[in-house]
Amino acid sequence: MKHSAGSGSLHAARAPFHRPLRFWLLALLLGCSALLSACGGGGGSFSFVGLGSSGQVGNPPGQPTRPPAGLAYAMTSAVYEFGQPIVPNQPSASGDAVTRYSIEPALPAGLVLDAATGVISGTPTAVTPHAIYVVTAENAAGSTTARVEIEVCQTPALPAGLTYRESAVVYTVGEAIAANAPSSSGGPIAGYTIAPALPAGLAFDAQTGVISGTPTAVAAQATYTVTGTNAAGAVTVTLQLEVQPALIAPASVDYSTPKVLYVATEAVVPNTAQTTGGPVASFTVAPALPAGLSLNAQTGAITGTPAALQSLATYTVTASNAAGSAQGVVKIAVTARGSWVPTATVPGARHYFSLTKLPDGKVLAAGGFTAGGVVNSAALYDPAAGTWAPTPPMLYARNGHSATVLANGRVLVTGGSDSARNGVLPAEIYDPVANTWTVTGSMAEGREWHTAALLPNGKVLVVGGHTLNPSLAFSQTAELYDPAVGTWTTAAMPLTTARSQHAMELLPGGTHVLVIGGVNRQGFVNTAEVFAVDGTGTTAMPISITGNLFRSALLADGSVLALADGSTTAIRFHPATSTWTTSTFSALRSIPILTALADGRVLMAGGSSLATAEVFNPDFDVWTTAAPMATERRAASAVLLNDGRVLAVSGFSNTWPTGEVDVSEIYLP
């Protein structure tokens, strides 16, 4: 559990009270796919040549009872030639019959979508850069979507990436096969050939490349080479085909992307199924795919546009024929960009302050650094009303402090420094019921930019920190506050390394905290340590990132995510194995906010002179782009509200008129 104080402290954007330590640190650290190249590329995805929705069998007469599903196109990534008629691009879908097709945005000039059949045809009349088009197939019961990537070039493009839905398959004498259709990218294929000739009873369509028919004789396994050509050249693929006397069940099902992260409201790249063994008659999935996604019952392809955020889930796909079935799994999660909305501004814009959610859901902002210096003012935010109301001021002006909600719902505020950069020794307690502040015991040391954690026994552990007066000193100690008696006790065991501006989280089990990074007299601290909360021991370990100030978040699985100024690498500690993994985000950020979301993801926003935001997806160790804030800021404070939204308050900006950002925003995940 990390303290809820505002971001940063040894930062150049700070007012003069912060310059001596920053200058000291600065002085200390001064010594320390070629195939598509003809038209600019674009697209590497695949889909299977289909028979068209008009070829569906088994749809009940009258009103549809099932929406279309598993919509896919023969060419999901096509490069057409200007002025040349295209090979009609036909869709396939399962579910009940499609009554209407539509596409967004409009197709390149000269190409048309048949609203009744979904076929894309025509002759391109203009060169058009690579773009994504989303086709919607609908009937009275619902709709599904698929995306098609199209580029129109002045010169023909080579076909590329030729594959077949079934590349190694065993057929059965007397059993009609499921049409085995090719897929490709690049320039559309005008014609196909195969060598040697197919087993008796099987037919090869020279226009579509589809293999169909009913085998009439046993044939040993052999390799067949299919060549697809157009005016620009050719591409080949080999198939392993066999015809045996008895039908056999499918042997395996695998997906091109077995674990995939999608983004809500954005059309997905089709996730195709590959099978071995006997031919597949149908595909089914359990449980139902996320809303907006569908499974093509003939090909097993997963397509569509996910509708909403969803955590990682496992889906079992079953491929069946008359002889039996095989199963494969695909894991799917859906993230979201989210959005920001404005809310009321805290009285007195500030940074380096504490922001604490109270048991009743209201949020306490206390202290911090303003345009007028360090303050003791405090205010309460009511999420239901979206308003701030001032509270009585703290007894001591302070910034760089911590605020911890005690087991009884009161808030313990500790440490920090005043306007003269003197460490504030006395702690104080805010009672939200009485709306009062009272002084409590004093710490043994002044601690600016320490960390604090509420322990399972109700005590509060504070670790590290620094003071500037009478001279710069970094703490190597920890202290325990006992709310029952209002006194502090220094832990018997010090940290292995003195540190300030570090991060800290209470690990699962509640017996140890993880202390990460920070700064001291030697510069940036390149270690973390697992410190016993009873002060009886600590274990240090190296870390792969360093920086001026660390941020951390406790994840749902008990692991800890941490990042530092000056690096685009985040580190993640796994307590069960005492190991670290890394992930990379896109933008270098100094003193951003970092907040664990209710759904298990982590929001990072602002920092440096940025308004942008990113979201960490722990199931994938991947960062995705989130919606940006309206206002750039660093050294802001943020807190997760009871309804899952995130309140981001104030902060500092070099471009804001006063430096202090007089704006608050709420993130909707």
The string of pLDDT tens digits covering residues 441-451 is 999 999 999 99
What's the pLDDT at 1?
A: 39
Stretch 507-526: mean pLDDT: 97
pLDDT digits (tens, 9 = 90+) for 585-595: 999 999 999 99
pLDDT at 42 over 90: no
Topology of the domain covering 250-334: Immunoglobulin-like (2.60.40)
The continuous run of DSSP H or E covering 569 comes out as: strand 569-574
Give the residue carrying structure tokens 């695998």. 254
What's the pLDDT at 657?
A: 72
Give the residue carrying structure tokens 């900006």. 653
The continuous run of DSSP H or E covering 237 comes out as: strand 233-244
CATH code 2.120.10.80 for 16-32+344-668: yes
pLDDT digits (tens, 9 = 90+) for 80-109: 999 999 989 999 999 999 999 999 999 999
The Cα 80–Cα 77 span in angstroms is 10
pLDDT at 195 over 60: yes
Percent with pLDDT over 70 in the chain = 91
What's the pLDDT at 149?
A: 95
Phi, psi of 29 (to 5 degrees): -85, -10
Q: What angle do CA 258, 92, 119 make, to 5 degrees?
A: 130
What's the pLDDT at 335?
A: 98
Stretch 265-269: mean pLDDT: 97
What's the pLDDT at 18?
A: 36
Average pLDDT, the chain: 90
The boundaries of every CATH 2.120.10.80 domain in the chain are: 16-32+344-668
Per-residue pLDDT band at 64 (split at 50, 70, 90): confident
pLDDT at 40 over 50: no
What's the pLDDT at 5?
A: 38
Helix H segments across 287-333?
Answer: none
Cα separation values, 215 from 169, 175, 200, 248, 508, Å:
13, 7, 6, 14, 62
Cα separation values, 615 from 280, 522, 557, 600, Å:
39, 33, 17, 10
The Cα 653–Cα 608 span in angstroms is 8
* Burial of residue 249, with CB atoms counted within 10 A of its CB: 0-12 exposed, 13-18 middle, 19 or more buried: middle
The boundaries of every CATH 2.60.40.10 domain in the chain are: 43-56+66-153, 159-244, 250-334
pLDDT digits (tens, 9 = 90+) for 616-625: 999 999 999 9
What's the pLDDT at 61?
A: 52
Stretch 218-247: mean pLDDT: 94
How does 344-367 read in b/e, with b if 16+ C-beta sit within 10 Å? eebebbbbbbbbbbbeeebbbbbb
pLDDT digits (tens, 9 = 90+) for 537-549: 999 999 999 999 9
Distance from CA of residue 174 to its chain's centroid? Answer: 50
Amino acid making up residue 412? L
Stretch 372-390: mean pLDDT: 97
pLDDT at 581 over 80: yes
CB 185 within 8 A of CB 33: yes
pLDDT at 559 over 70: yes
Contacts of 525 (CB under 8 A, 6+ apart): 497, 499, 502, 517, 518, 519, 546
What's the pLDDT at 58?
A: 39
CATH class for the domain made up of 159-244 = mainly beta
What's the pLDDT at 183?
A: 87
What's the pLDDT at 51?
A: 32
Higher pLDDT, 565 or 2: 565
pLDDT digits (tens, 9 = 90+) for 303-359: 999 999 999 999 999 999 988 999 999 999 999 999 999 999 999 999 999 999 999
Stretch 135-145: mean pLDDT: 96
pLDDT at 60 over 60: no
Give the residue carrying structure tokens 């954690």. 453
Contacts of 565 (CB under 8 A, 6+ apart): 547, 548, 549, 589, 590, 591, 607
The CATH number of the domain covering residues in 43-56+66-153: 2.60.40.10
Stretch 600-625: mean pLDDT: 97
Stretch 162-189: mean pLDDT: 92
What's the pLDDT at 31?
A: 33
What's the pLDDT at 65?
A: 86
pLDDT digits (tens, 9 = 90+) for 409-430: 999 999 999 999 999 999 999 9
What's the pLDDT at 584?
A: 98
Give the residue carrying structure tokens 């985000």. 585
| E runs forming strands in 256-410 | 259-263, 273-277, 282-286, 293-295, 302-304, 310-321, 324-335, 339-343, 354-357, 363-366, 369-370, 373-374, 378-382, 387-391, 402-405
Strands 387-391 and 378-382: antiparallel
* Burial of residue 218, with CB atoms counted within 10 A of its CB: 0-12 exposed, 13-18 middle, 19 or more buried: middle
pTM confidence score:
0.77
CB 634 within 8 A of CB 8: yes
Percent with pLDDT over 90 in the chain = 85
Q: Which of 160-164, 199-203, 360-364, 614-618 has the lowest mean pLDDT?
A: 160-164
